[in-house]
């Protein structure tokens, strides 16, 4: 069963510490699902507004800063009928330009435009650092748990992996 209307998006910058977790989780999911779902990465959250238009289900993996213990994985419903994402946790990384527009802004804009899919699931991984350099050990250690959370959401949609873990 192929599900082209299901998208998994890893959001973040690969060279900004824990912000790279979205791409790392997306890569792991892509390896296990062998093209059964569309898996993409995006550095710029503004790209999401057009990317997910017309999708039935979108699962977004992103680093968050909510004050929890680094590496904590949290799953939040953010689709058309869900409440807005908390701006502090899903805001931008503090850089200028479009980088001041975070995941919460993309969800809010798509909701206002009427293009937000009915089901958007955010798998947030609590970050320790967004500084240039590698991921923190805590976030690196949470990649498996975040990928499992994505896989659980895909299973809810009736989509099973094609390869072993």
Say what angle helices 143-156 and 21-33 make with each other, to 10 degrees: 50
Domains annotated for the chain, with CATH where assigned, are 3-156 (3.40.50.1450)
Q: How many CB atoms lie within 10 A of CB 3?
A: 17
Tens place of pLDDT for every residue, the chain, 165 residues?
Answer: 445 689 999 999 889 999 999 999 999 999 998 778 999 999 888 888 888 888 999 999 999 888 899 999 999 888 767 666 655 545 444 443 334 467 888 888 888 888 888 899 999 999 999 999 999 999 999 999 999 999 999 999 999 888 655
The label of the residue with tokens 């939040």 reads 76
Q: What are phi and psi of 100, to 5 degrees?
A: -80, 0
Angle at 106 between CA 95 and CA 55, to 5 degrees: 140
pTM of the shown model: 0.86
- Residue 83 CB contacts under 8 Å (≥ 6 apart), including other chains: none
- Residue 149 CB contacts under 8 Å (≥ 6 apart), including other chains: 73, 75, 123
């Amino acid at each position: 069963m192929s599900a082209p209307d299901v998208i998994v998006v890893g959001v973040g910058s690969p060279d900004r510490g824990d912000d790279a977790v979205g791409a790392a989780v997306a890569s792991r999911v892509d390896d296990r699902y062998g093209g059964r779902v569309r898996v993409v990465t995006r550095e710029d959250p503004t790209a999401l507004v057009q990317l997910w238009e017309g999708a039935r289900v979108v699962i977004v993996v992103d680093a968050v800063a909510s004050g929890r213990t680094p590496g904590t994985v949290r799953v939040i419903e953010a689709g058309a009928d869900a409440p807005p994402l908390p701006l502090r946790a899903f805001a931008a990384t503090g850089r200028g330009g479009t980088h001041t527009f975070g995941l919460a802004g993309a969800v809010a804009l798509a909701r206002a435009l009427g293009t937000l899919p009915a089901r958007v699931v955010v798998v947030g991984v609590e970050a320790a650092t967004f500084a240039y350099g590698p991921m923190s050990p805590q976030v690196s250690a949470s990649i498996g748990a975040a990928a499992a959370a994505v896989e659980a959401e895909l299973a809810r949609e009736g989509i099973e992996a094609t390869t072993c873990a």
